[in-house]
Chain A
Amino acid sequence: MKSDQLISVGTATNSRRSERWPYLFIVPMVLIILLVFVYPLIAVVRNSFYSGSISNLSFIGTANYVNLLRDDVFVHAIVNNIKLLLTVPITTLISLAAALILYENIRGWKLYRVILFLPYIIPAAVVGLSFSYLLQGNGILNTALRNVNLDFAALDWIGSTTLSIYSIGAVIIWSQFGFGVVVLTASLLSLPTEVSEAALVDGASRWQRQRFVIIPQIKETVQFLMVLQAITALAWVFPYIYTITKGGPANSSMVMDLYIWQYGFSLGAVGMASAAAVYLLALSGVLILIYSRMRKRQSERR
Protein backbone atom coordinates (compact mmCIF):
# COMPACT_ATOMS: atom_id res chain seq x y z
CA MET A 1 0.00 0.00 0.00
CA LYS A 2 2.68 2.40 1.04
CA SER A 3 4.64 2.07 -2.19
CA ASP A 4 1.49 2.58 -4.23
CA GLN A 5 0.84 5.85 -2.48
CA LEU A 6 4.42 6.99 -2.91
CA ILE A 7 4.32 6.36 -6.64
CA SER A 8 0.93 7.97 -7.17
CA VAL A 9 2.13 11.22 -5.62
CA GLY A 10 4.36 11.76 -8.66
CA THR A 11 1.94 10.66 -11.36
CA ALA A 12 -1.57 11.48 -10.36
CA THR A 13 -3.16 10.09 -13.54
CA ASN A 14 -1.60 6.63 -13.25
CA SER A 15 -4.04 3.81 -12.81
CA ARG A 16 -3.20 0.73 -10.80
CA ARG A 17 -2.40 -1.17 -13.99
CA SER A 18 0.35 1.23 -14.98
CA GLU A 19 1.96 0.70 -11.61
CA ARG A 20 1.97 -3.03 -11.93
CA TRP A 21 3.03 -3.55 -15.52
CA PRO A 22 6.76 -2.86 -15.00
CA TYR A 23 6.98 -5.68 -12.49
CA LEU A 24 5.25 -8.03 -14.93
CA PHE A 25 7.65 -6.98 -17.67
CA ILE A 26 10.72 -7.95 -15.68
CA VAL A 27 9.37 -11.35 -14.61
CA PRO A 28 10.86 -13.27 -17.59
CA MET A 29 14.26 -11.66 -17.02
CA VAL A 30 14.23 -12.50 -13.32
CA LEU A 31 13.20 -16.09 -14.02
CA ILE A 32 15.90 -16.74 -16.59
CA ILE A 33 18.54 -15.16 -14.34
CA LEU A 34 17.44 -17.38 -11.47
CA LEU A 35 17.64 -20.44 -13.71
CA VAL A 36 20.88 -19.78 -15.59
CA PHE A 37 22.90 -17.81 -13.03
CA VAL A 38 21.59 -17.99 -9.47
CA TYR A 39 20.83 -21.70 -9.33
CA PRO A 40 24.10 -22.87 -10.97
CA LEU A 41 26.18 -20.53 -8.83
CA ILE A 42 24.66 -21.93 -5.65
CA ALA A 43 24.99 -25.49 -6.95
CA VAL A 44 28.61 -25.09 -8.00
CA VAL A 45 29.59 -23.82 -4.56
CA ARG A 46 27.67 -26.67 -2.90
CA ASN A 47 29.16 -29.33 -5.18
CA SER A 48 32.66 -28.09 -4.48
CA PHE A 49 32.39 -29.61 -0.98
CA TYR A 50 31.52 -33.07 -2.33
CA SER A 51 33.41 -35.83 -4.07
CA GLY A 52 32.30 -38.59 -6.41
CA SER A 53 30.43 -38.65 -9.69
CA ILE A 54 27.27 -36.81 -10.75
CA SER A 55 24.95 -39.52 -9.46
CA ASN A 56 26.79 -40.34 -6.25
CA LEU A 57 28.18 -37.38 -4.29
CA SER A 58 29.52 -37.53 -0.75
CA PHE A 59 30.46 -34.62 1.51
CA ILE A 60 34.20 -34.12 2.05
CA GLY A 61 34.46 -30.54 3.31
CA THR A 62 37.21 -28.39 1.86
CA ALA A 63 39.38 -31.29 0.66
CA ASN A 64 38.86 -30.37 -3.01
CA TYR A 65 40.18 -26.87 -2.44
CA VAL A 66 43.26 -28.17 -0.64
CA ASN A 67 43.91 -30.87 -3.24
CA LEU A 68 43.66 -28.39 -6.08
CA LEU A 69 46.38 -26.21 -4.61
CA ARG A 70 48.55 -29.30 -4.27
CA ASP A 71 47.96 -30.19 -7.91
CA ASP A 72 50.84 -28.83 -10.00
CA VAL A 73 48.69 -28.88 -13.13
CA PHE A 74 46.04 -26.64 -11.57
CA VAL A 75 48.59 -24.23 -10.15
CA HIS A 76 50.24 -24.13 -13.55
CA ALA A 77 46.83 -23.41 -15.10
CA ILE A 78 46.37 -20.39 -12.82
CA VAL A 79 49.87 -19.16 -13.69
CA ASN A 80 49.06 -19.53 -17.39
CA ASN A 81 45.82 -17.56 -17.04
CA ILE A 82 47.74 -14.82 -15.27
CA LYS A 83 50.31 -14.84 -18.09
CA LEU A 84 47.41 -14.49 -20.53
CA LEU A 85 46.30 -11.37 -18.65
CA LEU A 86 49.35 -9.74 -20.25
CA THR A 87 47.38 -9.76 -23.50
CA VAL A 88 44.92 -7.22 -22.06
CA PRO A 89 47.13 -4.09 -22.16
CA ILE A 90 48.60 -5.13 -25.52
CA THR A 91 45.21 -5.75 -27.11
CA THR A 92 43.84 -2.51 -25.68
CA LEU A 93 46.77 -0.45 -26.99
CA ILE A 94 46.42 -1.91 -30.48
CA SER A 95 42.65 -1.36 -30.51
CA LEU A 96 42.98 2.16 -29.14
CA ALA A 97 45.67 3.16 -31.64
CA ALA A 98 43.64 1.78 -34.54
CA ALA A 99 40.39 3.38 -33.34
CA LEU A 100 42.05 6.79 -32.86
CA ILE A 101 43.57 6.71 -36.33
CA LEU A 102 40.25 5.68 -37.87
CA TYR A 103 38.56 8.49 -35.92
CA GLU A 104 40.79 11.03 -37.68
CA ASN A 105 39.09 10.03 -40.94
CA ILE A 106 42.34 8.88 -42.46
CA ARG A 107 42.07 8.11 -46.20
CA GLY A 108 40.47 4.71 -46.71
CA TRP A 109 39.03 4.54 -43.18
CA LYS A 110 35.87 2.87 -44.38
CA LEU A 111 37.74 -0.06 -45.88
CA TYR A 112 40.14 -0.29 -42.93
CA ARG A 113 37.18 -0.40 -40.57
CA VAL A 114 35.49 -3.27 -42.40
CA ILE A 115 38.76 -5.22 -42.38
CA LEU A 116 39.78 -4.52 -38.79
CA PHE A 117 36.39 -5.68 -37.45
CA LEU A 118 36.86 -8.98 -39.27
CA PRO A 119 38.72 -10.99 -36.58
CA TYR A 120 35.89 -10.24 -34.15
CA ILE A 121 33.34 -12.26 -36.13
CA ILE A 122 35.57 -15.29 -36.75
CA PRO A 123 34.64 -18.06 -34.26
CA ALA A 124 37.33 -18.76 -31.69
CA ALA A 125 37.30 -22.44 -32.69
CA VAL A 126 37.96 -21.55 -36.33
CA VAL A 127 40.63 -19.07 -35.27
CA GLY A 128 42.22 -21.87 -33.28
CA LEU A 129 42.06 -24.38 -36.16
CA SER A 130 43.50 -21.93 -38.63
CA PHE A 131 46.30 -20.79 -36.33
CA SER A 132 47.19 -24.34 -35.36
CA TYR A 133 48.06 -24.92 -39.02
CA LEU A 134 49.80 -21.57 -39.31
CA LEU A 135 51.93 -22.07 -36.21
CA GLN A 136 52.74 -25.79 -36.14
CA GLY A 137 56.34 -26.93 -36.59
CA ASN A 138 56.07 -27.28 -40.36
CA GLY A 139 53.30 -24.73 -40.58
CA ILE A 140 52.83 -21.68 -42.75
CA LEU A 141 54.73 -19.23 -40.56
CA ASN A 142 57.82 -21.39 -40.33
CA THR A 143 57.71 -22.27 -44.03
CA ALA A 144 57.62 -18.56 -44.81
CA LEU A 145 60.46 -17.85 -42.39
CA ARG A 146 62.61 -20.61 -43.91
CA ASN A 147 61.85 -19.33 -47.41
CA VAL A 148 63.46 -16.02 -46.50
CA ASN A 149 66.39 -17.75 -44.77
CA LEU A 150 65.31 -16.92 -41.25
CA ASP A 151 65.57 -20.54 -40.12
CA PHE A 152 66.74 -19.53 -36.65
CA ALA A 153 63.40 -17.77 -36.06
CA ALA A 154 61.36 -20.80 -37.12
CA LEU A 155 60.60 -22.03 -33.63
CA ASP A 156 58.23 -24.74 -32.52
CA TRP A 157 55.53 -22.22 -31.59
CA ILE A 158 52.86 -24.56 -30.26
CA GLY A 159 54.83 -27.77 -29.76
CA SER A 160 57.26 -26.44 -27.19
CA THR A 161 56.46 -26.43 -23.48
CA THR A 162 57.95 -22.97 -22.97
CA LEU A 163 56.44 -21.22 -25.99
CA SER A 164 52.97 -22.69 -26.33
CA ILE A 165 51.16 -20.45 -23.86
CA TYR A 166 52.67 -17.29 -25.38
CA SER A 167 51.65 -18.42 -28.84
CA ILE A 168 48.13 -18.90 -27.51
CA GLY A 169 48.37 -15.38 -26.09
CA ALA A 170 49.31 -14.02 -29.52
CA VAL A 171 46.33 -15.80 -31.08
CA ILE A 172 44.04 -14.31 -28.42
CA ILE A 173 45.35 -10.82 -29.19
CA TRP A 174 44.62 -11.39 -32.87
CA SER A 175 41.15 -12.65 -32.11
CA GLN A 176 40.21 -9.93 -29.60
CA PHE A 177 41.58 -6.64 -30.92
CA GLY A 178 38.83 -6.32 -33.53
CA PHE A 179 36.19 -6.20 -30.82
CA GLY A 180 38.14 -3.40 -29.13
CA VAL A 181 38.23 -1.45 -32.38
CA VAL A 182 34.46 -1.87 -32.75
CA VAL A 183 33.66 -0.71 -29.23
CA LEU A 184 36.14 2.18 -29.14
CA THR A 185 35.13 3.40 -32.60
CA ALA A 186 31.50 3.47 -31.48
CA SER A 187 32.48 5.34 -28.34
CA LEU A 188 34.63 7.88 -30.22
CA LEU A 189 31.94 8.54 -32.81
CA SER A 190 29.42 9.39 -30.12
CA LEU A 191 31.67 12.07 -28.58
CA PRO A 192 30.66 15.69 -29.06
CA THR A 193 33.06 17.18 -31.63
CA GLU A 194 33.10 20.71 -30.14
CA VAL A 195 35.73 20.04 -27.47
CA SER A 196 38.16 18.46 -29.89
CA GLU A 197 37.60 21.28 -32.38
CA ALA A 198 38.18 23.91 -29.71
CA ALA A 199 41.49 22.24 -28.88
CA LEU A 200 42.38 22.30 -32.56
CA VAL A 201 41.67 26.04 -32.71
CA ASP A 202 43.84 26.51 -29.64
CA GLY A 203 46.72 25.01 -31.61
CA ALA A 204 46.95 21.65 -29.87
CA SER A 205 48.88 19.04 -31.83
CA ARG A 206 47.23 15.79 -32.81
CA TRP A 207 49.10 13.98 -30.06
CA GLN A 208 48.05 16.56 -27.45
CA ARG A 209 44.46 16.40 -28.58
CA GLN A 210 44.41 12.63 -28.34
CA ARG A 211 46.22 12.49 -25.03
CA PHE A 212 44.46 15.29 -23.18
CA VAL A 213 41.11 15.75 -24.89
CA ILE A 214 39.92 12.58 -26.60
CA ILE A 215 41.28 9.74 -24.47
CA PRO A 216 40.02 11.14 -21.14
CA GLN A 217 36.52 11.25 -22.61
CA ILE A 218 36.51 7.56 -23.54
CA LYS A 219 38.37 6.44 -20.43
CA GLU A 220 35.36 4.63 -18.99
CA THR A 221 34.79 2.67 -22.18
CA VAL A 222 38.48 1.71 -22.23
CA GLN A 223 38.28 0.47 -18.64
CA PHE A 224 35.11 -1.46 -19.37
CA LEU A 225 36.74 -3.03 -22.41
CA MET A 226 39.76 -4.03 -20.36
CA VAL A 227 37.55 -5.76 -17.79
CA LEU A 228 35.82 -7.75 -20.53
CA GLN A 229 39.19 -8.69 -22.03
CA ALA A 230 40.57 -9.68 -18.65
CA ILE A 231 37.60 -11.98 -18.10
CA THR A 232 38.22 -13.48 -21.53
CA ALA A 233 41.88 -14.13 -20.68
CA LEU A 234 40.91 -15.69 -17.36
CA ALA A 235 37.91 -17.77 -18.29
CA TRP A 236 37.17 -17.83 -21.98
CA VAL A 237 40.25 -19.44 -23.49
CA PHE A 238 38.77 -22.91 -23.90
CA PRO A 239 38.00 -22.80 -27.64
CA TYR A 240 41.52 -21.61 -28.50
CA ILE A 241 43.30 -24.14 -26.33
CA TYR A 242 40.95 -26.96 -27.31
CA THR A 243 41.67 -26.46 -31.02
CA ILE A 244 45.36 -25.52 -30.83
CA THR A 245 47.13 -27.52 -28.10
CA LYS A 246 44.45 -29.31 -26.05
CA GLY A 247 46.44 -28.07 -23.05
CA GLY A 248 49.69 -29.66 -24.14
CA PRO A 249 52.44 -30.42 -24.63
CA ALA A 250 52.66 -32.03 -21.18
CA ASN A 251 49.98 -29.71 -19.75
CA SER A 252 52.22 -26.72 -20.46
CA SER A 253 49.33 -24.70 -21.89
CA MET A 254 46.70 -25.87 -19.37
CA VAL A 255 44.28 -23.11 -18.34
CA MET A 256 41.52 -23.01 -15.77
CA ASP A 257 38.51 -23.41 -18.04
CA LEU A 258 40.07 -26.37 -19.84
CA TYR A 259 40.91 -27.89 -16.44
CA ILE A 260 37.30 -27.50 -15.29
CA TRP A 261 36.05 -29.09 -18.49
CA GLN A 262 38.52 -31.98 -18.22
CA TYR A 263 37.73 -32.79 -14.61
CA GLY A 264 34.00 -32.22 -14.95
CA PHE A 265 33.33 -34.01 -18.21
CA SER A 266 36.25 -36.19 -19.28
CA LEU A 267 37.14 -37.46 -15.80
CA GLY A 268 33.72 -37.05 -14.17
CA ALA A 269 35.22 -35.49 -11.02
CA VAL A 270 32.40 -33.06 -10.38
CA GLY A 271 33.61 -31.91 -6.97
CA MET A 272 37.13 -31.07 -8.10
CA ALA A 273 35.84 -29.28 -11.18
CA SER A 274 33.36 -27.30 -9.06
CA ALA A 275 36.05 -26.24 -6.61
CA ALA A 276 38.22 -25.14 -9.54
CA ALA A 277 35.23 -23.17 -10.82
CA VAL A 278 34.89 -21.45 -7.45
CA TYR A 279 38.58 -20.46 -7.56
CA LEU A 280 37.94 -19.04 -11.01
CA LEU A 281 34.90 -17.14 -9.75
CA ALA A 282 36.97 -15.73 -6.89
CA LEU A 283 39.67 -14.53 -9.28
CA SER A 284 37.06 -12.90 -11.52
CA GLY A 285 35.52 -11.37 -8.41
CA VAL A 286 38.84 -9.75 -7.47
CA LEU A 287 38.98 -8.27 -10.94
CA ILE A 288 35.48 -6.84 -10.71
CA LEU A 289 36.22 -5.44 -7.28
CA ILE A 290 39.25 -3.55 -8.58
CA TYR A 291 37.17 -2.26 -11.45
CA SER A 292 34.29 -1.03 -9.31
CA ARG A 293 36.77 0.60 -6.86
CA MET A 294 38.28 2.45 -9.77
CA ARG A 295 34.90 3.63 -10.99
CA LYS A 296 33.86 4.72 -7.52
CA ARG A 297 37.01 6.77 -6.98
CA GLN A 298 36.47 8.46 -10.33
CA SER A 299 32.88 9.38 -9.66
CA GLU A 300 33.87 10.75 -6.25
CA ARG A 301 36.52 12.94 -7.80
CA ARG A 302 34.04 14.37 -10.25
Chain B
Amino acid sequence: MRNLFGSSYRHAFLIFLSLASIYPVWFIFQTSLKTNNEYLLNPLALPLHPVLSNFRETFTSFPVAHWALNSVIIAIFSVSGAMFIALLASYAMVFSKMRGVNFLLNTNIALMVIPPVTLVIPMFMLMVNLHLINTLASVIIFYIGLFVPFSVFFLTNFMKSVPYELIEAAKIDGLTPFAILRRIVVPLSSAALFTLMLVNIIYAWNELLIALVFLQQQESRTLMSGLSLFQGRYSINQPLVMAGAFVSVLPILLMYIFGQRFFVKGMMAGIGK
Protein backbone atom coordinates (compact mmCIF):
# COMPACT_ATOMS: atom_id res chain seq x y z
CA MET B 1 0.00 0.00 0.00
CA ARG B 2 2.73 2.39 0.98
CA ASN B 3 4.57 1.86 -2.29
CA LEU B 4 1.46 2.65 -4.22
CA PHE B 5 1.38 6.09 -2.67
CA GLY B 6 5.12 6.62 -2.92
CA SER B 7 6.37 9.99 -4.06
CA SER B 8 7.16 9.02 -7.66
CA TYR B 9 3.76 7.42 -8.13
CA ARG B 10 2.10 10.51 -6.82
CA HIS B 11 4.10 12.68 -9.19
CA ALA B 12 3.28 10.33 -12.06
CA PHE B 13 -0.42 10.63 -11.21
CA LEU B 14 -0.31 14.42 -11.09
CA ILE B 15 1.75 14.66 -14.26
CA PHE B 16 -0.71 12.42 -16.08
CA LEU B 17 -3.65 14.52 -14.85
CA SER B 18 -1.84 17.74 -15.77
CA LEU B 19 -1.11 16.57 -19.30
CA ALA B 20 -4.70 15.43 -19.66
CA SER B 21 -5.87 18.84 -18.40
CA ILE B 22 -3.64 20.86 -20.67
CA TYR B 23 -3.74 18.91 -23.92
CA PRO B 24 -7.30 19.71 -25.08
CA VAL B 25 -6.69 23.40 -24.36
CA TRP B 26 -3.33 23.29 -26.13
CA PHE B 27 -4.98 21.46 -29.02
CA ILE B 28 -7.45 24.32 -29.46
CA PHE B 29 -4.62 26.83 -29.48
CA GLN B 30 -2.23 25.01 -31.81
CA THR B 31 -4.98 24.08 -34.26
CA SER B 32 -6.19 27.68 -34.43
CA LEU B 33 -2.74 28.64 -35.75
CA LYS B 34 -2.81 26.17 -38.62
CA THR B 35 -4.18 26.48 -42.13
CA ASN B 36 -6.81 23.91 -42.94
CA ASN B 37 -4.39 22.15 -45.32
CA GLU B 38 -1.68 21.86 -42.72
CA TYR B 39 -4.20 20.58 -40.19
CA LEU B 40 -5.56 17.92 -42.56
CA LEU B 41 -2.05 16.74 -43.45
CA ASN B 42 -0.86 16.50 -39.90
CA PRO B 43 -3.41 17.19 -37.16
CA LEU B 44 -1.04 16.19 -34.34
CA ALA B 45 2.10 18.17 -35.15
CA LEU B 46 2.99 21.61 -33.90
CA PRO B 47 2.12 24.37 -36.37
CA LEU B 48 5.16 24.70 -38.64
CA HIS B 49 4.04 27.98 -40.15
CA PRO B 50 1.72 29.59 -37.60
CA VAL B 51 -0.86 31.84 -39.26
CA LEU B 52 -3.32 34.34 -37.83
CA SER B 53 -5.69 34.14 -40.78
CA ASN B 54 -8.17 32.01 -38.81
CA PHE B 55 -8.54 34.74 -36.22
CA ARG B 56 -9.01 37.36 -38.90
CA GLU B 57 -11.67 35.25 -40.56
CA THR B 58 -13.35 34.61 -37.22
CA PHE B 59 -13.96 38.30 -36.72
CA THR B 60 -14.99 39.07 -40.30
CA SER B 61 -17.30 36.16 -41.12
CA PHE B 62 -19.52 36.55 -38.07
CA PRO B 63 -20.20 39.51 -35.75
CA VAL B 64 -17.90 37.97 -33.17
CA ALA B 65 -16.92 41.30 -31.62
CA HIS B 66 -20.60 42.05 -31.14
CA TRP B 67 -21.20 38.65 -29.54
CA ALA B 68 -18.25 39.24 -27.23
CA LEU B 69 -19.74 42.58 -26.20
CA ASN B 70 -23.07 40.85 -25.48
CA SER B 71 -21.31 38.25 -23.35
CA VAL B 72 -19.51 40.98 -21.42
CA ILE B 73 -22.71 42.97 -20.81
CA ILE B 74 -24.59 39.87 -19.68
CA ALA B 75 -21.76 38.81 -17.37
CA ILE B 76 -21.40 42.25 -15.78
CA PHE B 77 -25.08 42.89 -15.14
CA SER B 78 -26.09 39.39 -14.10
CA VAL B 79 -23.15 38.89 -11.75
CA SER B 80 -23.28 42.30 -10.10
CA GLY B 81 -27.06 42.10 -9.81
CA ALA B 82 -26.97 38.67 -8.20
CA MET B 83 -24.14 39.59 -5.86
CA PHE B 84 -25.86 42.76 -4.72
CA ILE B 85 -29.06 40.85 -3.95
CA ALA B 86 -27.14 38.05 -2.25
CA LEU B 87 -25.02 40.45 -0.18
CA LEU B 88 -28.08 42.23 1.20
CA ALA B 89 -29.87 38.98 2.00
CA SER B 90 -26.86 37.18 3.47
CA TYR B 91 -26.02 40.13 5.67
CA ALA B 92 -29.57 40.24 7.02
CA MET B 93 -29.64 36.48 7.54
CA VAL B 94 -26.34 36.30 9.40
CA PHE B 95 -26.27 39.53 11.42
CA SER B 96 -29.86 40.06 12.49
CA LYS B 97 -32.27 38.23 14.69
CA MET B 98 -34.85 37.93 11.96
CA ARG B 99 -37.09 34.91 11.88
CA GLY B 100 -37.12 32.17 9.26
CA VAL B 101 -33.36 32.23 8.62
CA ASN B 102 -33.10 28.45 8.61
CA PHE B 103 -36.04 28.15 6.25
CA LEU B 104 -34.42 30.63 3.85
CA LEU B 105 -31.06 28.88 4.00
CA ASN B 106 -32.57 25.45 3.36
CA THR B 107 -34.64 26.84 0.51
CA ASN B 108 -31.52 28.26 -1.08
CA ILE B 109 -29.67 24.96 -0.78
CA ALA B 110 -32.62 23.13 -2.35
CA LEU B 111 -32.79 25.67 -5.20
CA MET B 112 -29.10 25.17 -5.95
CA VAL B 113 -29.88 21.69 -7.23
CA ILE B 114 -32.95 22.50 -9.33
CA PRO B 115 -31.92 21.75 -12.93
CA PRO B 116 -32.23 25.03 -14.89
CA VAL B 117 -33.49 23.12 -17.94
CA THR B 118 -36.74 22.45 -16.06
CA LEU B 119 -37.29 26.21 -15.72
CA VAL B 120 -36.45 27.14 -19.30
CA ILE B 121 -39.82 26.61 -21.02
CA PRO B 122 -41.99 28.64 -18.61
CA MET B 123 -39.34 31.36 -18.47
CA PHE B 124 -39.27 31.45 -22.26
CA MET B 125 -43.06 31.84 -22.43
CA LEU B 126 -42.92 34.55 -19.77
CA MET B 127 -40.23 36.47 -21.64
CA VAL B 128 -42.22 36.21 -24.87
CA ASN B 129 -45.23 37.71 -23.08
CA LEU B 130 -43.09 40.49 -21.61
CA HIS B 131 -41.60 41.17 -25.09
CA LEU B 132 -38.14 40.58 -23.67
CA ILE B 133 -37.16 37.64 -25.87
CA ASN B 134 -34.04 38.33 -27.97
CA THR B 135 -33.02 41.04 -25.51
CA LEU B 136 -30.06 40.67 -23.21
CA ALA B 137 -32.34 41.57 -20.30
CA SER B 138 -34.18 38.25 -20.55
CA VAL B 139 -30.97 36.29 -20.05
CA ILE B 140 -29.67 38.67 -17.39
CA ILE B 141 -32.82 38.28 -15.27
CA PHE B 142 -32.71 34.48 -15.60
CA TYR B 143 -29.02 34.31 -14.69
CA ILE B 144 -29.48 36.58 -11.67
CA GLY B 145 -32.07 34.16 -10.35
CA LEU B 146 -29.84 31.16 -11.01
CA PHE B 147 -26.84 32.77 -9.29
CA VAL B 148 -28.62 33.95 -6.15
CA PRO B 149 -28.99 30.61 -4.28
CA PHE B 150 -25.33 29.63 -4.56
CA SER B 151 -24.21 33.18 -3.82
CA VAL B 152 -26.31 33.32 -0.65
CA PHE B 153 -25.02 29.89 0.41
CA PHE B 154 -21.45 31.01 -0.20
CA LEU B 155 -21.74 34.43 1.46
CA THR B 156 -23.65 33.29 4.56
CA ASN B 157 -20.97 30.61 5.05
CA PHE B 158 -18.31 33.26 4.84
CA MET B 159 -20.03 35.91 6.94
CA LYS B 160 -20.39 33.51 9.85
CA SER B 161 -16.63 33.90 10.27
CA VAL B 162 -16.80 37.72 10.52
CA PRO B 163 -16.50 38.64 14.21
CA TYR B 164 -19.84 39.85 15.51
CA GLU B 165 -18.14 42.38 17.82
CA LEU B 166 -17.13 44.43 14.80
CA ILE B 167 -20.74 44.74 13.75
CA GLU B 168 -21.85 45.58 17.30
CA ALA B 169 -19.20 48.28 17.59
CA ALA B 170 -20.26 49.84 14.31
CA LYS B 171 -23.87 49.73 15.43
CA ILE B 172 -23.00 51.62 18.61
CA ASP B 173 -21.19 54.19 16.47
CA GLY B 174 -24.55 54.78 14.84
CA LEU B 175 -23.90 53.26 11.42
CA THR B 176 -26.98 52.14 9.49
CA PRO B 177 -27.14 48.46 8.51
CA PHE B 178 -26.40 49.33 4.89
CA ALA B 179 -23.37 51.39 5.90
CA ILE B 180 -22.06 48.51 8.03
CA LEU B 181 -22.46 46.18 5.10
CA ARG B 182 -20.71 48.56 2.72
CA ARG B 183 -17.92 49.83 4.94
CA ILE B 184 -17.15 46.83 7.14
CA VAL B 185 -18.47 43.54 5.80
CA VAL B 186 -17.67 44.06 2.11
CA PRO B 187 -14.04 45.11 2.63
CA LEU B 188 -13.54 42.12 4.96
CA SER B 189 -14.99 39.80 2.34
CA SER B 190 -12.84 40.83 -0.61
CA ALA B 191 -11.31 37.37 -1.25
CA ALA B 192 -14.64 35.59 -0.88
CA LEU B 193 -16.39 38.17 -3.06
CA PHE B 194 -13.70 37.91 -5.72
CA THR B 195 -13.99 34.14 -5.88
CA LEU B 196 -17.77 34.24 -5.94
CA MET B 197 -17.60 36.81 -8.71
CA LEU B 198 -15.24 34.62 -10.71
CA VAL B 199 -17.42 31.52 -10.25
CA ASN B 200 -20.51 33.42 -11.39
CA ILE B 201 -18.73 35.09 -14.32
CA ILE B 202 -17.49 31.69 -15.50
CA TYR B 203 -21.05 30.41 -15.35
CA ALA B 204 -22.50 33.41 -17.18
CA TRP B 205 -19.80 33.38 -19.83
CA ASN B 206 -20.01 29.62 -20.42
CA GLU B 207 -23.76 29.01 -20.30
CA LEU B 208 -25.18 27.63 -23.53
CA LEU B 209 -28.76 26.34 -23.24
CA ILE B 210 -30.48 29.54 -22.07
CA ALA B 211 -28.39 31.77 -24.33
CA LEU B 212 -29.18 29.56 -27.31
CA VAL B 213 -32.93 29.58 -26.70
CA PHE B 214 -33.51 33.16 -25.52
CA LEU B 215 -31.20 34.97 -27.95
CA GLN B 216 -31.89 33.73 -31.45
CA GLN B 217 -31.19 36.82 -33.54
CA GLN B 218 -27.77 37.07 -35.12
CA GLU B 219 -27.00 40.35 -33.35
CA SER B 220 -28.21 39.31 -29.92
CA ARG B 221 -26.18 36.10 -29.53
CA THR B 222 -23.49 35.46 -26.94
CA LEU B 223 -20.08 34.05 -27.78
CA MET B 224 -21.10 30.56 -26.68
CA SER B 225 -24.29 30.38 -28.69
CA GLY B 226 -22.52 32.00 -31.64
CA LEU B 227 -19.80 29.40 -31.48
CA SER B 228 -22.32 26.68 -32.14
CA LEU B 229 -23.10 28.41 -35.47
CA PHE B 230 -19.42 28.16 -36.32
CA GLN B 231 -19.47 24.45 -35.75
CA GLY B 232 -22.36 24.00 -38.15
CA ARG B 233 -21.06 26.22 -40.91
CA TYR B 234 -17.38 25.29 -40.80
CA SER B 235 -17.57 21.57 -40.17
CA ILE B 236 -14.90 21.11 -42.84
CA ASN B 237 -12.62 23.86 -41.52
CA GLN B 238 -11.81 22.82 -37.98
CA PRO B 239 -8.92 25.27 -37.43
CA LEU B 240 -11.35 28.13 -37.95
CA VAL B 241 -13.78 26.70 -35.37
CA MET B 242 -10.90 26.27 -32.96
CA ALA B 243 -9.90 29.90 -33.48
CA GLY B 244 -13.43 30.91 -32.51
CA ALA B 245 -13.27 28.62 -29.50
CA PHE B 246 -9.95 30.10 -28.42
CA VAL B 247 -11.25 33.66 -28.70
CA SER B 248 -14.23 32.74 -26.54
CA VAL B 249 -12.09 31.14 -23.81
CA LEU B 250 -9.33 33.73 -23.69
CA PRO B 251 -10.99 36.37 -21.45
CA ILE B 252 -11.89 33.78 -18.81
CA LEU B 253 -8.47 32.19 -19.07
CA LEU B 254 -6.72 35.51 -18.46
CA MET B 255 -9.00 36.38 -15.57
CA TYR B 256 -8.34 33.00 -13.99
CA ILE B 257 -4.56 33.17 -14.41
CA PHE B 258 -4.31 36.65 -12.91
CA GLY B 259 -6.78 35.95 -10.13
CA GLN B 260 -5.39 32.51 -9.32
CA ARG B 261 -3.89 33.54 -6.02
CA PHE B 262 -7.10 34.92 -4.53
CA PHE B 263 -9.19 32.16 -5.97
CA VAL B 264 -8.28 29.39 -3.53
CA LYS B 265 -8.30 31.77 -0.57
CA GLY B 266 -11.79 32.91 -1.47
CA MET B 267 -13.00 29.36 -1.98
CA MET B 268 -11.76 28.49 1.50
CA ALA B 269 -13.73 31.37 2.93
CA GLY B 270 -16.91 30.44 1.13
CA ILE B 271 -17.10 26.66 1.18
CA GLY B 272 -14.26 25.44 3.39
CA LYS B 273 -16.02 24.10 6.43
Contacts and interface: CB of A to CB of B under 8 A. Distances in A.
Contacts of B118: 40-41, 44, 235, 260, 277-278, 280-281
A125 B123 CA distance: 22
Contacts of A102: 14
B68 to A, nearest CB: 13
A123 B22 contact: no
A22 B98 contact: yes
A80 interface: no
Interface string B81-101: 000111011011100111100
A121 B202 contact: yes
B206 A134 contact: no
Interface stretch (B47-55, B56-64, B238-246): B238-246
Interface string B25-38: 10110010000000
Nearest to B96: A22
A110 B227 CA distance: 33
Given A106-B7, A140-B27, A189-B272, A37 B111 contact: yes
Contacts of B224: 123, 125-126, 239
Contacts of B182: none
A25 B92 contact: yes
For chain B, give the interface size range.
Answer: 35 or more
B183 interface: no
A97 B16 CA distance: 13
Contacts of A124: 206, 208
B268 A131 contact: no
A32 B213 contact: no
A216 interface: no
Given A23-B98, A47-B122, A106-B11, A147 B272 contact: no
A239 B208 contact: yes
A273 B213 CA distance: 14
Among B118, B202, B252, the most chain A Cβ lie within 10 Å of the Cβ of: B118
A87 interface: no
A186 B268 contact: yes
Interface residues of chain A: helix, strand, loop or mixed (majority): helix
Interface in B231-258: 231, 238, 241-242, 245, 248-249, 252-253, 256-257
A121 B25 CA distance: 11
B139 to A, nearest CB: 12
A217 B112 CA distance: 23
B27 to A, nearest CB: 6
Contact of B115 (A183, A273, A281): A281
Interface string B171-205: 10000010000000000000000000000001001
A1 to B, nearest CB: 14
For chain A, give the interface size range.
Answer: 35 or more
B273 interface: yes
B107 interface: yes
A45 to B, nearest CB: 10
Among A10, A35, A123, the most chain B Cβ lie within 10 Å of the Cβ of: A123
B264 A186 contact: yes
Interface string A226-261: 011001001110110011000000000000110011
A21 interface: yes
A12 interface: no
B268 A189 contact: yes
B125 interface: yes
Interface string A100-127: 0110101110001111111111111111
A234 B85 CA distance: 29
Contact of A288 (B25, B113, B213): B113
A174 B19 CA distance: 12
Given A25-B91, A134-B27, A129 B241 contact: yes
B264 A113 contact: yes
Contact of B22 (A115, A121, A140): A115
Contacts of B107: 33
B72 interface: no
Interface in A4-39: 7, 10-11, 18, 21-23, 25-26, 28-29, 32-33, 35-37, 39
A98 B14 contact: yes
A257 B117 contact: yes
Contact of B206 (A101, A117, A125, A206): A125
A143 B43 contact: yes
Given A54-B125, A129-B241, A205-B2, 11 more contacts: A26-B89, A28-B84, A32-B144, A47-B122, A54-B128, A115-B18, A116-B21, A126-B28, A174-B21, A242-B212, A243-B231
17 contacts: A29-B89, A32-B141, A36-B145, A37-B111, A37-B145, A41-B119, A97-B13, A123-B249, A134-B27, A174-B20, A182-B264, A187-B271, A207-B5, A238-B208, A257-B115, A264-B121, A277-B118
* The 5 residue pairs across chains A and B that have the minimum distance between CB atoms: A36-B145, A190-B272, A235-B115, A123-B206, A186-B267
